Amino acid sequence: MNKPLLEVEDLWVRFASKKRVVEAVRGISFSVGRERVGIVGESGSGKSMTGRSILRLVRHPGQVDAKKIHFDGQDLQALSEKEMRDVRGHKISLVMQDPKFSLNPVMKVGDQISEAYRVHTNASKAEARSRSIEMLNAVQIRNPERVYDSYPHEVSGGMGQRIMIAMMLIPEPDLLIADEPTSALDVTVQRRVLQIMDKLVQERGMGLIFISHDLNLVASFCDRVIIMYGGRIVETCRADELQNAKHPYTRGLLNALPDIHQPKDQLSVLERDPKWIEDPSVDAFL
């Protein structure tokens, strides 16, 4: 593939308390090109923190250290907070898991989407409105004019998530970090949302980091997969080869899944090996 859009080397995220330091992400290195990269892992594996640390969204007392976080040739760690605001949304967008907490409850949905557009372009209000409605249409919201003028509490969870996605896509970012974007959605809507993201990758050459716990979905949707455990990358492979993964953790996860077509008497239970935590992180470069 082409040259990487995002390069991350030796990334650490630490949370220090009085008693001890919790290391959420422990020295991982990876790169993302104009492709779909899936990050899978269980809760607490550090996958969400990885996404947040790229945009410098890890809150105090969390601390992010890395040898290198380069985006499109630009050193993100060297940017001031003001310059960082220009990167967020415009160049790199983040879709978070829960729309309930990521939309402003006292602002109309449409105004929030227009704002995202106007902050990064010089568009007029009317232009932003028509563009927003277009975007709402694109994420399959029926009656977008009505939704434009509603407040977040007036829309359902699935619709809220689609609104978030519309908002993140309207500034046309080069890289989209999607943190469990579809886990709250119905299957039919989920498919539609994935199609929209897929199209942006294929047609506009957007890069996508798709954070998820759903192995089947990642295997079928992404180009490459990064598997995280205990803050480290334990394995990386092409998505269509995930079924042949070698690491015992990945194998364990795959075997723990019930299968529609092959009935099993008992599901195999994952036996965790303490060695996995100690093993060095695998580099996931292009």
Positions that interact with another protein (CB under 8 A) = 42-43, 156-158, 186-188, 190-191, 194-195, 198, 213, 215-217, 219-221, 252-253, 256-261, 263-264, 266-270
Q: CA separation (Å) from 95 to 164, 173, 182, 269?
A: 7, 12, 10, 32
Measured from the CB atom, the residue of 73 and 263 that comes closer to another protein is: 263
Measured from the CB atom, the residue of 103 and 242 that comes closer to another protein is: 242
Nearest distance from C-beta of residue 159 to another protein, angstroms: 12
Nearest distance from C-beta of residue 17 to another protein, angstroms: 17
Measured from the CB atom, the residue of 159 and 168 that comes closer to another protein is: 159
Measured from the CB atom, the residue of 106 and 187 that comes closer to another protein is: 187
Cα–Cα distance for residue pair 191/209, rounded to 1 Å: 17
Helices (H), the chain: 47-54, 81-87, 99-102, 109-120, 125-138, 144-148, 157-169, 187-204, 215-221, 248-256, 275-278
Nearest distance from C-beta of residue 184 to another protein, angstroms: 8
Nearest distance from C-beta of residue 214 to another protein, angstroms: 9
Q: What are phi and psi of 13, to 5 degrees?
A: -125, 120
Give the three-class secondary structure for 285: coil
Measured from the CB atom, the residue of 130 and 243 that comes closer to another protein is: 243
Nearest distance from C-beta of residue 260 to another protein, angstroms: 4
Contact (CB, 8 A) for 185 and 194: no
Cα–Cα distance for residue pair 25/228, rounded to 1 Å: 9
Nearest distance from C-beta of residue 86 to another protein, angstroms: 33
Measured from the CB atom, the residue of 16 and 257 that comes closer to another protein is: 257
Q: Is the dihedral of CA 73, 76, 80, 81 positive or negative?
A: positive
